[in-house]
Every structure is written in structure tokens, then in C-alpha cells.
Structure 1
Amino acid sequence: MSGKPVLHYANIRGRMEPIRWLLAAAGVEFEERFLKTKDDFEKLKADGSLLFQQVPMVEIDGMKMVQTRAILNYIAGKYNLYGKDLKERALIDMYVEGMADLNELIMYHEFKIAKEKGHDLASILDKATNRYLPVFEKVLKNHGQDFLVGNKLSRADVSLMETILLVEELKPDALAKFPLLKSFKARMSNIPTIKKFLQPGSPKKPLVQEKDIPSVMAIFH
């Protein structure tokens, strides 16, 4: 296909949200075709669009791409957000994979029932503030640049910005002990493409509301 990438997923964050973030940061406009029912999902499977019978799926450059990491790697490479050499790419991958571990915990937290969320939240915040955020505070300090790798925007920076905002939704003062991450967030918020994505009405998705969880679960089960 030609033209804008087309994103196929439910109208939630889930595994598509990092893809939305990266396309938006790259300044790429995209379309979304939301799965609203289980039948919508089954139709995608039946027509052979889903290599492993899973979404996210992104139509881009004549391909129907699946697997979140593969999609993100392709977008990062295509839009020069993947470092200048193998060493930078390795650092970017390492940082992104670390953040993906934390983001996965937060993603599943959205779908926990209310009585499970208290203990789950405490565990997530402990990991965020004692294992993950200190790493990136240290990286910024040691690197001494505005961005995590090299001295230009990469997918690692976009992922870190997304992660910071996810953690702050759970704990608004999460950056209190991380001054470099505070400054990083401010810089990233002023990059025009990201600033646009953070505005109301953008494709950025909100937290799933508890009342909507059954209908979302029905699509995928």
C-alpha cells in the first residue's frame, strides 16, 4: 500500500500505544481501524492479514506487519530514530527492552480487578522508582547529553517519555528524586511532534476505564 500507515487494534493503549508514540514522534500521520467486536478480529485472521493470528498489525510500505518489536524496529529505522551504528542500536535496544518490561507490568495493571490493584500498584511503583527510573537518571548523568544515545532523538527517548508519563499516572510525584528525568521530560514535551501528540484530541489513548474492560476482553477472547 502507499500513503499513511494503517493501524489495526482495539481503541485502547495496549501493545499498539508504543507504535502510536513512535509514529507521532517521527511526524508520521496514520489511520486507525479499530477492532470493535470479536467478529472484526476473526475477519482479520480469516483473510490472512495476521501472520501469527495476533494484533497489533500495521499496514506500511506494502507490508502487513505484526509483532510489536518488529514494527517498532522498522519504524525507527525508516525514520532515522535508531542510532548511527550498531553500538548505538545495541544501546537503544537495551534501554527500550528494559522499559518494555516495566510498561508491560503497567499495561496489565489496567486490566486487574479493583481488589487486586493495591498490591499490584505497590509492586509496580517499587520497581519503577528503585529499579528502572534510577537507571535512566544515571544514563543521562553519565552521557551528559540531552538524549539517551548519541546526541539526537531516538526511539529510546520516545519510549522513556512514554514510560515516564505512564508512571506519573500511577504516582504523580514519581520524578521527585530524579532531576535529570524531570528536565528530560520538559525537553521532550517541547519537541513539536511530541507536543502535538500530547494535546487533547490526538491519537494518544487514555487509561482503560473499568466499565470498558469486559467489551475489550470480549474482542480478544
Structure 2
Amino acid sequence: MAGKPKLHYFDGRGRMESIRWLLAAARVEFEEKFLETSKDLEKLRNDRSLMFQQVPMVEIDGMKLAQSRAILSYIAAKYNLYGKDIKKRALIDMYIEGVADLNEMIILLPLSPPNEKGTKITQIKESAANRYFPAFERVLQSHGQDYLVGNTLSRADVHLVELLYSVEELDPGILANFPLLKALKTRISNVPTVKKFLQPGSQRKPPGDETRFEKVIKIFQ
């Protein structure tokens, strides 16, 4: 019997957080091996565990998968979160790319110089409120079903809800004009394993702070 997936990354959100979210939504328990020093990263490289010399890396089903998109695609396909036909997958991929555009700005935010952070936060909130959230609200309104692609939970829903939480940390009232997104967030948050993941002390990581990310930069230099 295969063991739990093992996630190799630093003790923070970054590019691993979406993988943690997707595993939680798939009801899969996982282990984490945190990189605490540059020697930890160097060991993985010397062991040839990192195909492209970088993390995130996930050990799953006898593989050492690198590249976050490949990891997410495998998990989604394995646990039936990636649509049942090519058209549904195309829609899911399109929605994911939209989420990724905004999520990338959030991932990089803790690494921004202090004098630029306010401007970047404003850009994120304006992009969310005026471009991305209205688009996803229209998708849900257009078909009146529970999820972005019909009535079946997919990775697109999970990634979107992760994004909603992240943007709400910057602007707690941003979903006031998006009732369908708010309902989607509630629906997915009530999935038992996601609900557990959202509790304090879980494997979900808190928002990035400068102290932690200064340490991370040293690890990856």
C-alpha cells in the first residue's frame, strides 16, 4: 500500500500551498519535509531528487514529481478533480490560468520591497475586484450550478477558493459584491477535510511575513 505523499518545501506558503489545498480537498493525508537550511536543499540536489534543481517536489506513488503544475495535474487526475472529458478539462485549465495570474502576484508579495508593498496590494485588490472576481461570478451565474464546471467539484474550484481566502486577507470585505463566489467559498470550506485544513494548527500555512521569507531567500540562494 502506498504511503502518504511527502511534500518537500520550506515552512511557508509559496508554490506548495496550492498543492496542500488540493490534497486537503481530495481528502488525502500528507507529510511534509521542510527545508530549513541551504544544506537541506543541496542534499536533495545531490541525491538527484530534484529534476530541475528546485522545489516544490512531492513524493507520490513511487515518483518524485517536480514542477507545481505537473504535481497539481497529477493529483487532480488521480482523485477525479480534473473533469471527465476534454471540454471540461479545457474549461478547468482556462479557469486555473486566470486564478494563477492573480495568485502569482500574491505569492511574490512577501518578497516585495517595503516601499512597493502598498502599491502591489492595491493592484491585487483592484485586479480581483474589477477583473478576475467578476469573471468567475459570471461563470457561476451563467449556468446556475454549484461549481465552476457543472455540479462536480474540480481543481478549478479549489484553487479559486484558495485565492478568495488570500485576497480576503488583504481586503476582508472584497466578496461583498460577489454572492456566488461567497457561496462557493462556503460550500468548499464545509468539505470536512477542507474544514479541518482551515483550522488553526493545521498544515495550512499562515500568511507570509518578512522574517520567514528572508530566511527562505537565504536557503534558495
TM-score, normalised by the number of residues in structure 1: 0.97
Q: Which moved more, 1:16-25 or 1:105-114?
A: 105-114
What is the CA-CA distance between 1:122 and the residue it aligns to? 1.0
Cα deviation digits, residues 132-189 of structure 1 (max 9, x gap):
1011100000021011112111101100110000000011001011111111111111
Q: Which moved more, 1:10-19 or 1:110-119?
A: 110-119
- The residue number in structure 2 matching 1:175 is 175
Is residue 13–residue 206 contact of structure 1 (8 Å, CA) maintained in 2? Answer: yes
* CA distance, structure 2, for counterparts of residue 163 and residue 212 of structure 1: 21
Is residue 6–residue 32 contact of structure 1 (8 Å, CA) maintained in 2? Answer: yes
SS in 2 for 1:208: coil
- The residue number in structure 1 matching 2:5 is 5
Report % sequence identity.
64
Q: Which moved more, 1:72-81 or 1:108-117?
A: 108-117
Cα deviation digits, residues 12-54 of structure 1 (max 9, x gap):
1000000000001101000000000011001111110000111
| Aligned residue type for 2:25 | A
SS in 1 for 2:27: coil
- The residue number in structure 2 matching 1:69 is 69
- The residue number in structure 1 matching 2:29 is 29
Q: Which moved more, 1:207-216 or 1:124-133?
A: 207-216
- The residue number in structure 2 matching 1:83 is 83
| Aligned residue type for 2:169 | E
1:206 aligns with 2:211: no
5+ unaligned residues in a row in structure 1: which ranges? none
* CA distance, structure 2, for counterparts of residue 93 and residue 20 of structure 1: 19
Cα deviation digits, residues 51-102 of structure 1 (max 9, x gap):
0111000000000000100000000000000111110011111101110110
- The residue number in structure 2 matching 1:109 is 109
- The residue number in structure 2 matching 1:216 is 216
SS in 2 for 1:175: helix
TM-score, normalised by the number of residues in structure 2: 0.97
Cα RMSD of the aligned pairs, angstroms, is: 1.0
What is the CA-CA distance between 1:201 and the residue it aligns to? 1.5
SS in 2 for 1:8: strand
* CA distance, structure 1, for counterparts of residue 194 and residue 152 of structure 2: 15
Cα deviation digits, residues 108-130 of structure 1 (max 9, x gap):
11221321111111111111111
Is residue 8–residue 58 contact of structure 1 (8 Å, CA) maintained in 2? Answer: yes
Is residue 17–residue 205 contact of structure 1 (8 Å, CA) maintained in 2? Answer: yes
SS in 1 for 2:175: coil
Q: Which moved more, 1:209-218 or 1:134-143?
A: 209-218
| Aligned residue type for 1:126 | E
SS in 2 for 1:145: coil
- The residue number in structure 2 matching 1:143 is 143
Mapping 1:111-126, distance limit 5 Å = 111-126=111-126
Mapping 1:151-170, distance limit 5 Å = 151-170=151-170
5+ unaligned residues in a row in structure 2: which ranges? none
- The residue number in structure 2 matching 1:19 is 19
1:94 aligns with 2:94: yes
* CA distance, structure 1, for counterparts of residue 160 and residue 208 of structure 2: 21
| Aligned residue type for 1:186 | T
* CA distance, structure 1, for counterparts of residue 215 and residue 170 of structure 2: 24
Q: Which moved more, 1:115-124 or 1:158-167?
A: 115-124
Is residue 83–residue 150 contact of structure 1 (8 Å, CA) maintained in 2? Answer: no
* CA distance, structure 2, for counterparts of residue 201 and residue 118 of structure 1: 29
Runs of 4+ in 1 over 2 A off after TM superposition: none
Q: Which moved more, 1:12-21 or 1:184-193?
A: 184-193
1:59 aligns with 2:63: no
